[in-house]
Structure 1
Amino acid sequence: MGLSAEQLRTALDALSAGEPVFAEALARVGYPEPRIRDRGYETLLRTIVGQQISVKAAQAVWSKMETVVGDLTDPATIAAASDEQLREAGLSRQKAGYARSLSDEVTSGRLDLAHLPEDDEEAIKALVRIKGIGRWSAEIYLLFAEGRTDVWPAGDLAVQIEIGRLLGHDERPSEKLLRELAEGWRPHRGALAIFAWHHYGADMGKDMEVI
């Protein structure tokens, strides 16, 4: 499970004590709500289904898949489905390949989502073996589904925008620069990412949906 409300508060209070700009932003927009997803196969499959489409469209495809293919909590379901069924359910050929890659990694035992490596970088390496799961998706999964406190999705556009804005940068910082800047924010970088999405959403006047 992801970071709890109490964990977010504790982490953001600690960050605010060392960075006045974070304290000011926190006072302005308040604490973010927890972002929690279930650990395991289904959440990763939903990540693949939802790539490059709206949340509403992703839910529609998911519902169609449940009707056409069956139980999506069982990785064997995707393995048993035909290409025609997956297309009928709304998956592109590419996404169908990604879904099969995930199913194969789990059913073969090569990927044990209940026992990912404790080291964050090693866990990311295990997840990105799945076709269609890049570093960003792996980091978001570890943050939202496993509650890993120091995962830092520095490649996320909204995180780059908001951290750059809060720190007074004239230009959006690159992923490389953001990783360097964040070294001093360990071990609370996961909470800071969630706050960055919250701050971005407050500026946009709506909640920032990530996955």
Structure 2
Amino acid sequence: MLSSATDSSFEPLGGRVQIIRNDDDVRLGLDALLVLDPRLAPIAADAGPVPLRLREPGFAGLAHIIVSQMVSRASAEAIWRRMLPADGPLTAESYVLLAPDAWREFGLSRAKADTLSRIAEAVASGRLDLSGLCLKPPDEALGELTALKGVGPWTAEVYLMFCGGHADVFPAGDVALQNAVGAALGLAARPQTKALAKLSEIWSPWRSVAARLFWAYYATKMRRDMLPIA
């Protein structure tokens, strides 16, 4: 489990993977970012607390991210509540036992239902270890996730950030993040995915904290939560 304890336990794994485990790690990353890029200082002052929002790695975490895509937060939460078993958490093993048309009752799209079914079958059969995958270097983990039909870069990046605790992932395709960076840095136009990915390189190895910072900043301007997970 990724702890939310107050004492910092920032952990580089194998010298390549850095894992954020708690709020102290986020603060450590933010301090480093302000040195890497002094432009972020006024942004951090306006943003207030930078959220952690870690979730357990595994099927439920990835499933929730998929359910939340392209729908309002209220709709996503309503669908998610209908998906949760009455007698315990949602697992890959419980999902594969659902009736073939259960997705209709949940309110899922057919595409999302098919993606979740493929992932659940892979996890339940032991072919996919979503927790172990989080301990792999980002490029390797992202490659394995996006090899799953229906899982794109945004889904994979958000999973590694919020379920895996990866410190150096930046979902440059996130439209809210593009708007946030454009507004915060005073850019003439919203940066597109490739341009934002290039721009984010200056914030390595703390790009996940930079993304959280920009989302938090944009939330203060828009007066609503902008992070991709609640």
Whether the TM-score (by the shorter chain) exceeds 0.5 is yes
Q: What residue number does 2:127 align with?
A: 110
User: Per the alignment, in what secondary structure is the counterpart of residue 130 of structure 2?
Assistant: coil
Q: What residue number does 1:54 align with?
A: 72
Are 2:184 and 2:217, in contact at CA under 8 Å, matched by a contact in 1? no
Q: What residue number does 2:162 align with?
A: 144
CA distance in 1, matches of 2:85, 2:48: 41
- Whether 1:73 aligns to 2:117 is no
Identity of aligned residues (%): 37
Aligned residues: 210
CA distance in 2, matches of 1:66, 1:6: 32
CA distance in 2, matches of 1:98, 1:164: 32
167, 173, 192: which one pairs with 1:155? 173
Q: Name stretches of at least 5 consecutive residues in structure 2 with no aligned partner.
A: 3-19
Are 2:96 and 2:117, in contact at CA under 8 Å, matched by a contact in 1? yes
86, 91, 109: which one pairs with 2:103? 86
Shift of 1:163: 1.8
Shift of 1:33: 2.1
Are 1:3 and 1:148, in contact at CA under 8 Å, matched by a contact in 2? no
1:74-126, Cα deviation, whole Å (9 max, x unpaired): 21222222222332232232222111111122122221112115210110111
Q: 1:18 to 1:132 in 2, by over 3 A?
A: same
1:163-208, Cα deviation, whole Å (9 max, x unpaired): 2233332111121112222222210111000011101101011222
Q: 1:185 to 1:62 in 2, by over 3 A?
A: closer
CA distance in 2, matches of 1:155, 1:85: 31
Q: Name stretches of at least 5 consecutive residues in structure 1 with no aligned partner.
A: none
TM-score (norm 1): 0.90
Q: 1:90 to 1:72 in 2, by over 3 A?
A: farther
Q: What residue number does 2:193 align with?
A: 175
Shift of 1:17: 2.2
Shift of 1:59: 2.1
Return the letter of the residue paired with 1:156: D
Moved over 3 A (4+): none
User: Per the alignment, in what secondary structure is the counterpart of residue 132 of structure 2?
Assistant: coil
Q: 1:167 to 1:110 in 2, by over 3 A?
A: same
Shift of 1:3: 4.7
Q: What residue number does 1:45 align with?
A: 63
Q: CA RMSD in A?
A: 2.0
TM-score (norm 2): 0.83
- Whether 1:185 aligns to 2:185 is no
User: Per the alignment, in what secondary structure is the counterpart of residue 16 of structure 1?
Assistant: helix
User: Per the alignment, in what secondary structure is the counterpart of residue 38 of structure 1?
Assistant: coil
Shift of 1:25: 1.3
Pick which of 132-141 and 87-96 moved more: 87-96
Pick which of 196-205 and 79-88 moved more: 79-88
Return the letter of the residue paired with 2:53: R
User: Per the alignment, in what secondary structure is the counterpart of residue 168 of structure 2?
Assistant: coil
Return the letter of the residue paired with 2:49: Y
Are 2:115 and 2:149, in contact at CA under 8 Å, matched by a contact in 1? yes
User: Per the alignment, in what secondary structure is the counterpart of residue 131 of structure 2?
Assistant: coil
